[in-house]
């Protein structure tokens, strides 16, 4: 696919592409009466050519055939954006928008998006200003006034991962900013929620942590840890290879003199590793050495003693498998895409899809992104 500037000889082809796209791609969201009012097949080519030349107009071609176009005026208003019905979901609309926006850096972009196009623009970081009814040839059509702020303005509004409290309520804190132990690592935007004292996470929720023992607690990005959750570290264990489990050595005197050093006898479970975007329910307990995969959910009041796979739901005491969150393909796509590693401004663009219960829409997007 190639992009080029508009030429007047393109005008008739763009008008035909507009008509065909409206009557095919938009047919799932509008009635035939609405489609006929929107695209009649009769276009004032002279007026269209004049507006195309007044705007910056980009044309997409494939093997010499026009497969899409878009135009934006000097204020940042995206007037038209259409892609041939046989070339949907190939990144053409995104490429056209990228090119148009590249020449309008610093502007607030606006558009009037159809019901069909709304998810695309949400994915690109636009927000809905209002829904409206427009009248075409006496027929009402629904569309959405949408806008996208400049990236520098967007960045000012993105929560700061280096802040202790992400909002004014101060019941949740980004815990990477309050832990001090050298063997605890926490990723950006992972929070602990506790109305009493969220900043006391390391003191109140990571138990028996003695860094000299050698184990680590590693928590990924964007995890959600509910109040009362406890992470039990390796020194909490007792010797189980002998007749007694009592830790005589730590109490001093003749007991210490006549027993091996406490730490060297403890079982080694290894590091406790929590993936990214993991939700751990209220008052759950994570035992030493457990590995919890990306996107997993731990039900409230669970005791996790074994590893939990990515995007699985576990619960109970001991925690057992409850269900998979997604099918194998979608899970694989999410693990390959790794949205938690996106740059902050890119994440803002993708958030509407990540938070949309229409998983098929997300699936199509991920397929497109991972095949580009």
Active site residues: 238
Hey, CA dihedral for 18, 19, 22, 24, is it positive or negative? negative
Hey, CA dihedral for 169, 205, 228, 223, is it positive or negative? positive
Burial of 117 (0-12, 13-18, 19+ CB in 10 A): buried
CA distances from 73 to 51, 55, 111, 144 (A): 9, 4, 11, 18
Q: What count of other Cβ atoms lies within 10 Å of the Cβ of residue 318? A: 13
The string of DSSP letters for 345-356 reads HHHHHHHHHHT-
Q: Is residue 174 classed as helix, strand or coil in its secondary structure?
A: strand
Separation between Cα atoms, residue 346 and residue 16, nearest integer Å: 34
Q: Are 311 and 334 in contact (CB under 8 A)?
A: yes
Residue with tokens 């739901």: 313
């Amino acid at each position: 696919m190639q992009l080029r500037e508009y030429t007047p000889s393109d005008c008739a082809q763009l008008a035909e592409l507009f008509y065909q796209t409206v009557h095919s791609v938009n047919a799932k969201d509008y009635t035939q009466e609405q489609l006929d009012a929107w695209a009649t097949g009769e276009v004032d080519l002279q007026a269209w050519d004049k507006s195309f030349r007044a705007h910056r107009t980009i044309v997409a071609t494939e093997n010499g055939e026009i497969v899409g176009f878009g135009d934006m005026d000097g204020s940042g208003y995206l007037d038209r954006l259409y892609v041939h019905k046989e070339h949907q979901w190939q990144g053409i609309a995104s490429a056209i928008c990228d090119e148009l926006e590249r020449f309008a850096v610093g502007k607030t972009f606006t558009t009037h998006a159809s019901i069909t196009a709304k998810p695309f623009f949400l994915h690109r970081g636009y927000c809905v200003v209002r829904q409206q009814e427009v009248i075409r040839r006496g027929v009402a059509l629904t569309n959405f006034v949408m806008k996208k702020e400049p990236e520098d303005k967007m960045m000012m509004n993105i929560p700061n991962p280096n802040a202790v409290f992400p909002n004014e309520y101060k019941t949740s804190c980004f815990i990477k900013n309050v832990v001090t132990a050298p063997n605890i690592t926490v990723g950006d935007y992972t929070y602990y929620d506790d109305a009493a004292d969220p900043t006391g996470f390391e003191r109140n929720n990571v138990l028996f942590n003695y860094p000299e023992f050698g184990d680590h607690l590693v928590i990924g990005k964007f995890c959600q840890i509910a109040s009362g959750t406890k992470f039990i570290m390796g020194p909490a264990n007792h010797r189980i290879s002998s007749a007694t489990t009592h830790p005589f050595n730590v109490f001093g005197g003749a007991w210490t003199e006549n027993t091996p050093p406490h730490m060297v006898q403890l079982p080694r479970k290894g590091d406790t590793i929590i993936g990214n975007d993991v939700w751990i329910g209220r008052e759950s307990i994570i035992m030493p050495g457990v590995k919890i995969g990306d996107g997993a959910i731990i039900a409230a009041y669970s005791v996790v003693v074994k590893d939990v796979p990515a995007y699985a739901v576990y619960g109970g005491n001991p925690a057992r498998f409850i269900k998979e969150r997604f099918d194998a393909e979608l899970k694989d796509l999410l693990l390959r895409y790794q949205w938690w590693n996106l740059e902050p401004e890119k994440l803002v663009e993708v958030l509407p899809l990540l938070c949309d219960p229409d998983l098929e829409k997300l699936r199509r997007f991920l397929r497109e992104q991972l095949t580009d």
